[in-house]
A = this chain, B = another copy of it.
Amino acid sequence: MPAKLKTAIVGATGYSGLELARLLLRHPHLETPLMLRRTEGGDESPHNGFANNGSINLAEIFPVLSGNGGYPIQPFSWAALQQQNVELLFLATPHDTSRALVPEAIAQGIRVIDLSGAWRLKQAQHRAVYGFQDTDSLTAAELTEKAVYGLPELNCDRIPNATLVANPGCYATSVILALAPLLSAEVVDRERGIISDSKSGVSGAGKEPTSRTHFVSVADNFSAYSVFSHRHVGEIIEQLKLDANQFIFTPHLLPIPRGILSTVYVYLNREMKPAEVEACFRDFYHGKRWVRVFATPQLPQIQFSLHTNYCDLGFCLAEDGRRLVLVSCVDNLLKGAAGQAVQNMNLMYGWNEEEGLQ
């Protein structure tokens, strides 16, 4: 029986981080993960109400975890990682923190799965929205090249050997998986434009309390935001090789804690029948454990994929056989973040893709 893998996670106190910690804690091939926290500029916010040094307990922040003896989170240090012989590091940190930590981790021979947007983008103009400089450092430029975009259904050939996996954004996951089969089959009339009208629960906005995440602002409400300027647009365009002027992405805030539904609009370049469209999806995702293709006319709903690692896909084709509406759902904290990170780890270590995710 092989030794269990030694992992660490930085940023378990955020929403994605908590989900990730819970998944890692019960994964059959892992040692209990080392949990770490940045003490400045990192994953800590004053509203969490704990002091800036010393060990804290994850169960104090999320009492749902209490009753099992506790989950200590130590201040981050490279020494702690070395002492535990950590082989794989998960970062559930802001992108600036990831940008700062990854070069050193890679230099020390530690593989990294980064849940932030720090390493997802190859093109400078897309990285600009994060404020990264192209001239950050030679290392940063090299790592940007080296990083593998961790969408297992598209990149399962490159993830196993990756040193640095850039875990996709939650919205991007829902949109890319909806569009990839049709674009791959070259049946989309790209000239007429592609639109993703996406809707997310509030945990996607992070744990920081703001007037925008105040209960009274969100409940009984619904709103669009960041139209034409959301950070996930770059990922979608790069991964799907879209023309920026032929794509529109509109995110909206749903009055629910978690879940994403993207309604994606494409025009087909030839008349198709519903069965052909369905076959296109089924063929593309044949053997993919974490994508469920719904038989038309049934459509996914957010509830169906909540608390699972599934991306659910369905569609509705107009009578003219040209206008096509795709519906894609993911749990933003699982397939859209922590679950996908575990799926990537499973690929990186040659384990079954569903290990630790059922």
Q: A: which residues have CB within 8 A of B?
A: 15, 26, 47-49, 63-64, 66-67, 192-193, 195, 197, 199, 202-203, 207, 209-211, 213-225, 227-228, 245, 248, 250, 252, 254-259, 261, 263, 265, 267, 292, 294, 298-308, 310, 316, 318-320, 322-323, 325, 327, 358
Contact = CB atoms under 8 A, between A and B. Distances in A.
B215 A63 contact: no
Contacts of A223: 261, 299-303
B257 A254 contact: no
A216 B261 contact: no
A219 B256 contact: yes
A228 B318 contact: yes
Contact of A221 (B299, B301, B307, B310): B301
Task: Rank and list the top 3 A-B pairs by shortest CB-CB distance, nearest first.
Answer: A223-B301, A209-B209, A227-B316
Contacts of A267: 193
A25 to B, nearest CB: 10
B299 A222 contact: no
Contacts of A245: 318, 320, 322-323
Contact of A209 (B202, B214, B221, B307): B214
A305 B218 CA distance: 14
Contact of A254 (B254, B304, B358): B254
B257 A220 contact: yes
Contacts of A261: 222-224, 252
A195 B265 contact: yes
12 contacts: A192-B192, A193-B193, A197-B263, A203-B216, A216-B257, A219-B255, A219-B256, A220-B220, A220-B259, A221-B303, A223-B261, A223-B303
A164 to B, nearest CB: 30
A282 to B, nearest CB: 12
A307 B307 contact: yes
A108 to B, nearest CB: 34
B318 A220 contact: no
Nearest to A203: B216
Contacts of A64: 303-306, 308
Contacts of A66: 292, 294, 304
Contacts of A225: 299
A261 B228 CA distance: 18
B26 A255 contact: no
Contacts of A221: 256, 259, 301-303
B299 A227 contact: yes
B323 A222 contact: no
A358 B358 CA distance: 13
B228 A316 contact: yes
Contacts of A224: 261, 263, 299, 316, 325, 327
Contacts of A300: 63, 223
Contacts of A203: 216
B67 A310 contact: yes
Given A67-B292, A248-B318, A256-B222, A216 B202 contact: yes
A134 B257 CA distance: 46
A248 B220 contact: no
A61 to B, nearest CB: 10
Contact of A47 (B210, B258, B308): B210
